[in-house]
Amino acid sequence: MTAQHAHPAPRFTGAARPYGGGDPYADYRTADFPFARLTDLADRRLGAGVVAADDEFFAERENLLLPGRAVFDPEHFGHKGKVMDGWETRRRRGPSAGDPWPAQEDHDWALIRLGTPGVVHGVVVDTAHFRGNHPRAVSVEGTSVPGTPGPEELLSDGVTWTTLLPRTPVGGHAANGFAVPAGRRFTHLRLSQYPDGGIARLRVYGEVVPDPAWLEALGTFDVVALENGGRVEDASDRFYSPPANTIRPGRSQRMDDGWETRRRRDRGHDWIRYRLAAQAEIRALEIDTACLKGNSAGWASVSVRDGAGTGTGTDESEGAGDWREILPRTRLQPDTNHRFVLPAPAVGTYARVDIFPDGGISRLRLFGSLTGQGSAALAARHRELGG
């Protein structure tokens, strides 16, 4: 069963020019999609995966969710043909010599498990380097299934799929971006391409909606982590790497897997502002500068503020109180995880880290538990979105 939603017109259609040498991205078509600053719910670093696909003859389905943009080596061929960094299916054919063309409804599909359940606000179907072998059109559907279902369960008649993006033309060698009307929480997506072809990457941008029962069972957890519903609301500088890296799972493994600002030539400082999973009581924190050696921040401080009301709004100033410093300006060491136990628990719905004067940190962890108000707000939001 499938429900329908409206969608805006695509930005790119048609094939791209054949590769003519030089920088393969020189003629790549893209745009600034406003929703792309949200969390990529299909990020493998959050635990996303491609559960199944009906065909992956030329290129593996797992490539769809790899971090970073697709690469292209014009000289790389294998025993099946050109090796592509994406998901590519074989060419479909009709039933007979008299009817050799694919039918209108013919398509290939891939099932994607989101890294964390959430509300989808936009998708990017990236056909980078698929110039004459991209699909003619794509569609995206979503469903919410508890637990860890396999392909057979997801494709069973009892599962209802909601159309997020109806069958829509896409362009080759382009970032085809589409805003999606928000309204429900999803755990899995089905990406279809008509009739066949290749897609380099799929990005699914949205809002994490964690399971309140799971967080309640944990008790104490990282209340600012992406996977638990925390998010970055704003930052002073995004020059070298995105501030959302600071709340990703695990420790940073490379310098660009953190947040690093450009070098300041004034008397100011840099900062990131976060929204917590919900109103929480923070008891300990970590500031990690892993892999930032000659460019880590010199000092850092952490503050929180408490918002009135439900604690789930998106307006940082809505009913919020004053900032209260919970970690005073403290010297940081390069490539080091710094741990601090607070002298008293601090209640807040927002957090802010200030670094002095510039540089970077790789991770921020705020350990605590939800307040009664925070738990109630999170549970209400979960119910509202069909969780």
Question: What is the residue-level pLDDT of the chain in tens, covering all 387 positions?
Answer: 555 444 554 578 888 999 999 999 999 999 999 999 999 999 999 999 999 999 999 999 999 999 999 999 988 999 988 889 999 999 999 999 999 999 999 999 999 999 999 999 999 999 999 999 999 999 999 999 999 999 999 999 999 999 999 999 999 999 999 999 878 999 999 999 999 999 999 999 999 999 999 999 999 999 999 999 999 999 999 999 999 999 999 999 999 999 999 999 999 999 999 999 999 999 999 999 999 999 999 999 999 999 854 444 444 445 567 999 999 999 999 999 999 999 999 999 999 999 999 999 999 999 999 999 999 999 999 999 987
Q: Look-up: residue for tokens 């929703």?
A: 35
Ramachandran area for residue 319 (φ above 0: left; ψ -120 to 50: alpha; else beta): left
Q: Give the per-residue pLDDT at 81.
A: 86
What does the buried/exposed string (b/e) look like for 26-40 if buried means 16 or more CB atoms within 10 Å of the residue's CB? eebbbeebebebbbb
- On whether the CB atoms of residues 245 and 338 are closer than 8 A, the answer is no
- On whether the CB atoms of residues 192 and 123 are closer than 8 A, the answer is no
Determine the Cα–Cα distance for residues 121 and 208; give it in Å rounded to an integer.
Answer: 11
Determine the Cα–Cα distance for residues 228 and 212; give it in Å rounded to an integer.
Answer: 9
Q: Give the per-residue pLDDT at 178.
A: 96
Determine the Cα–Cα distance for residues 283 and 347; give it in Å rounded to an integer.
Answer: 9
- On whether the CB atoms of residues 98 and 171 are closer than 8 A, the answer is no
Q: Which has the closest alpha carbon to 347: 301, 285, 280?
A: 280
CA angle 187, 191, 197 (to 5 degrees): 155
Q: Give the per-residue pLDDT at 243.
A: 96
Determine the Cα–Cα distance for residues 228 and 91; give it in Å rounded to an integer.
Answer: 41
Strand partners, 325: 303
CA angle 368, 374, 377 (to 5 degrees): 150
- On whether the CB atoms of residues 87 and 198 are closer than 8 A, the answer is yes
Q: Give the per-residue pLDDT at 315.
A: 47
The contacts of residue 150 (CB under 8 Å, 6+ apart) are 51
Q: Give the per-residue pLDDT at 310.
A: 40
- Provide the CA 176 distance to its chain's centre, in angstroms: 16
Q: Give the per-residue pLDDT at 308.
A: 57
Determine the Cα–Cα distance for residues 223 and 14; give it in Å rounded to an integer.
Answer: 45
Q: Are strands 337-356 and 198-199 parallel, antiparallel or unpaired?
A: unpaired
- On whether the CB atoms of residues 162 and 73 are closer than 8 A, the answer is no
Determine the Cα–Cα distance for residues 206 and 68; give it in Å rounded to an integer.
Answer: 18
Determine the Cα–Cα distance for residues 38 and 122; give it in Å rounded to an integer.
Answer: 9
Q: Which has the closest alpha carbon to 49: 184, 126, 149?
A: 149
> Exposed/middle/buried for 192, CB within 10 Å: 0-12, 13-18, 19+?
middle
Task: Please report which residue ranges of the chain form alpha helices under DSSP H.
Answer: 151-154, 212-218, 372-384
Q: Give the per-residue pLDDT at 251.
A: 93
